[in-house]
Each structure stands twice: as structure tokens, then as C-alpha cells.
Amino acid sequence: MMHPPVENRGRINIDLPRALREHDSRDNIILQPGDSIRIPEYQPSVRVTGAVNSPGSVLYRRGAPLDYYLNGAGGFTRLAEKGQVSVRYANGEVRTRRRSLFFSSNPAPGPGSEVFVPAKDPNAPKSDTLAFVSAIAQILASTVAIIVVARRL
């Protein structure tokens, strides 16, 4: 059955070795006239840019975590947005560091990747943690007082 050509799909990342090995793989796509396959050149380094003390390239080390590359670039500057570090892989895919109270995810850079550390806006309003904690303490104290009075009634 012939499918009509699909126009203007942009870049599609595939696992070429899997596509060649497994004929029923989702990566085994049908090329259309005008399509091209781009295989990036192997780069044995990871480029680190943005809010780090020494931006540049760090030699790729198999299995090395994200922090290895960040430390290799001199670590974070004081304006670094540490929770928003992203990795752009050689195939164009981008993954961002995720952190929460119970879960954290650090994308591991591969050869030819770029690690980007965004900077905080120095003009953005700063949160006042002390004022927040003080307000919560006042609310809790008021709640306890109300409970004590209510129990006496």
C-alpha cells in the first residue's frame, strides 16, 4: 500500500544500527524523495557553555556523570541556574536536569554533546525565605491558640 508523501517533517532522530538490524523496528523508516541522512562526526569531547567558570570542552569519558563535565569546566558561577542544566546530544536531542524533593534526573552527556548552564536573571526579585518562615510560624501559632480556646469552650 502506498502512502502519500509527508512534507516538511523536519529532523527525525533514529537509531540507525537498530533500523538496519531489525526490519520491524520503528526506527526503520521509509525515506521520501528529498530526504537525507546525516550522521554526525564523532567528537571525543563534551562542550560546556553558559554559567560555568571556565567554558570549553572536556574530554568524553564513558560513564562519567553530568557533574564530571561541570567540574571539568570549573564548576558553576554564582549566578548559575543549577537545576536547569541541559544536555544537547550530537543527534540534536535535548534533555534537562530534573530535581524534586523525592526524585532527581541528570542526563549523562555523550561524545559530541553540549552541556548548557543558564544564568539566573540578576534583576529578578529574590524570595525572602526568612519572611516566609516567619509568616508560617505566625499562622501555626494562631492555629494552636484557636484550638486551645476551642477546647476550653
Task: Summarize pLDDT for 90-140 with one digit per residue, the tens.
Answer: 888 899 988 766 777 889 999 999 999 999 887 766 666 777 778 888 888
Judge whether residue 153 has pLDDT over 80: no
- Checking if the pLDDT of 4 tops 60, the result is no
Q: Is the pLDDT score of 8 beyond 70?
A: no
Residue 66 is predicted with a pLDDT of 94
Cell of 151: 477546647
Confidence bin at 1 (pLDDT 50/70/90)? very low
Domain with CATH 3.10.560.10 in the chain: 45-117
Nearest residue to 68 (alpha-carbon basis) of 89, 91, 80, 85: 85
Q: Quick one: 28 exposed, middle or buried, by C-beta within 10 A (0-12, 13-18, 19+)? A: middle
SS3 82: helix
Instruction: For domain 45-117, give the fold.
Output: Outer membrane lipoprotein wza fold like (3.10.560)
- Measured at the alpha carbon of residue 147, what is the angle toward residues 141 and 152, in degrees to the nearest 5? 130
Distance CA 132, CA 127 (A): 9
pLDDT digits (tens, 9 = 90+) for 50-95: 999 999 999 999 999 999 999 999 999 999 999 899 999 988 889 9
46 vs 152 pLDDT, higher one: 46
d(CA 80, CA 106): 16
Kindly report the pTM of this predicted structure: 0.65
| Average pLDDT of span 34-61 | 92
Pairing outcome for strands 114-117 and 86-88: antiparallel
- What residues form DSSP beta bridges with 94? 88
